[in-house]
A and B are shown apart, each in its own frame.
Chain A
């Protein structure tokens, strides 16, 4: 079944190079001779200035812009995240992904925090992100900020290895109608959005979307029954107020997910965000945010889980002389109601969880070119009480084009229900009047702790070339293991989760942007890493059940964005993922290409080719049951009015 890299295609790519254009000189001076109307229609294709500004941060931050997403042809959040060079993205099957930064990857990667417009989608039930439950209208994304490395002082526990902030555009910027439809063999999606004006200086948009993905095949050629269909609708309204703004948004969704030999898994949910921002004075601003979230996952033979969350948070930013001070706090309340299936459960079946936090961070100028940031968050959770999350960062601007930065952070992953409350069988076995399980509960499971040192350098030596290098060293302790229970007690099992593993990670993240010609941009990214974990003395973990990780020692990507003409853009991405050990997944190279033709100012037609180099390849899991992803073409139509 395997086929080698297609020589025809490589030839074609090479042949593009000599054909590339030699128009190096910028006609920037001429644009001042355009009319206002013409200026209004010029497409800006360089890195946005906001991105450059974010690039000054003393952390390993990569921004995926709306332009990058559109030009790549990505039709889902996980596929868009492949654009970030500092993320490991492995597609598991038709609907599941393993996504992490700086190692510890697996489909339940539990050290990466993901927020959509400030709403956390990290599940406190399963300590992971259910990627099959997350969707936005791709055209409404403003940008995705991907921070690799600890972000706990601002974002709290679980932002251990990174934070992904998915930020959608203001309703003000999504006026009018948009229809986008994409289809390929095995997958299709459609979104319809409409935006309009409200009274009182307000704007709104509302959307409906649907997608379907067929089951993938396993490497042995069997159906994996992992296809899905999802339907979603939502809205966002933004009001500009005197000296502030108010935003309300909401989504509602349901999905059917395939499962072998049972009826479909049913997934549904709804959420709402209200956010108020106000400029209190010239040097002082505040933000208040309320989030309501409901999710339900009904998985035959496993469980029915209902999770309701209310979260309120506030932040105040104030400038005092050379100091930029941010402080604030938040409170989250979740109720998880789990009805177990025959195999396993969560004990107690219902649990109410609370998180409360207070934080303060100060950024101050030690000298005009040297900025220090010190911050501390104290977050209290139901399982382990107060967790202390400090960070210290230094950024030194050598000149306007070069920055050296360093950071020291301590961060934790707090237990989720899956760590503490997991039991099998779901109902206790009574022995001598005392309830026992085979597995769980795990009341002794504590937070996993990481101490991380980062050093970074960013430079833009010439106008059309910039790069970023980050080296990190992470010291991980109390990582989760699966141990025989040696101290029986009430509600205790034969096995339990404990914290008897430790790890050391180190690596280098590198990315660069180069615009060799006016109409041609290249992006490159490379991560080389060593993720090393070991069991501590006393551990008897003989399974791969506690510490589940599988990381390549390197991965890289090369992305080209080419304006072939005023109306035609060609983008391609060549990516490499190193082999992974446990279970063994071979390394692979793949190539995706996307050709966008602007037929009309209001209409784009795009033809994408995915996984062009091989007939199929696998990204995750053990042979022969793992899914393989085939070469395919995707046709997409986007219309705006």
Chain B
């Protein structure tokens, strides 16, 4: 435990100014060296990415870890409501990619537009009536994904959260059951938390 008394380090006054200049020079050279070295070390996906692109990538990935009760047909249709930036990103990802043998279609939805034919619905933070959209989707057997604090409470199957600067997702099994989708154990094992029935 952290005790009441804390160590404060006594300040030894750096006696000569020359001392300080040398110390700073050393520090500066170190920073310079590090920043130059790092040029070679930044290929691949370790580069910073935007939140919208991670969410779009997750939405695409989710499709591969779901089992639907009835055949969704040759194309999986993903609806995006209240998140135009994610829709654009997802459309880019979906172009030229398949899930199994199925192609992916991204549909940008307007408020109140019917959800018929959708496999997955992403309800973004800008949607004005998220709970109503989730309910309509549930009736239709469409799997829903949200990005708000109380996403699972208002009926969503999967909810994104920002945790420790990372995009994480939580899953509600009761909500998944209600729309008759089976989520793979791999998906559940990556989930940041899984809400089970009876809670």
Contact = CB atoms under 8 A, between A and B. Distances in A.
Contact of B3 (A185, A210, A630): A210
Contacts of B54: 31, 39, 42, 44
Contacts of A187: 8
A36 B153 contact: no
Contacts of B128: 319
A519 to B, nearest CB: 6
Interface in A20-47: 20-21, 23, 26-32, 34, 36-46
B165 A45 contact: yes
Interface in A154-187: 170, 172-173, 183-187
B187 interface: yes
A40 B190 contact: yes
Interface residues of A, number: 92
A48 B190 contact: no
Contacts of A242: 153
Contacts of A189: 6
A564 B48 CA distance: 11
A217 to B, nearest CB: 10
Interface residues of B, number: 82
Given A8-B25, A12-B29, A40-B166, A566 B6 contact: no
Contacts of B42: 21, 23, 519, 563, 565-566
A599 interface: no
Nearest to A242: B153
A67 interface: yes
A43 B34 contact: no
Given A50-B125, A214-B11, A241 B153 contact: yes
Nearest to B36: A19
Contacts of B15: none
A44 B6 contact: no
B149 A170 contact: yes
Contacts of B132: 282-283
A16 B35 contact: yes
Interface string B132-149: 100100000000000101
Interface in A283-298: 283
A23 B49 CA distance: 13
B149 to A, nearest CB: 7
Given A41-B166, A244-B153, A183 B57 contact: no
Nearest to A520: B48
A188 B7 contact: yes
B76 interface: no
Nearest to A201: B199
11 contacts: A19-B35, A31-B45, A32-B56, A32-B61, A40-B192, A43-B165, A44-B166, A46-B51, A173-B161, A185-B9, A240-B195
User: Which 5 pairs from chain A and chain B are nearest by CB?
Assistant: A12-B28, A185-B11, A45-B48, A282-B132, A565-B38
Given A27-B47, A192-B1, 13 more contacts: A12-B24, A19-B32, A28-B92, A39-B57, A40-B190, A189-B6, A214-B8, A241-B153, A242-B153, A282-B129, A565-B34, A595-B31, A631-B20
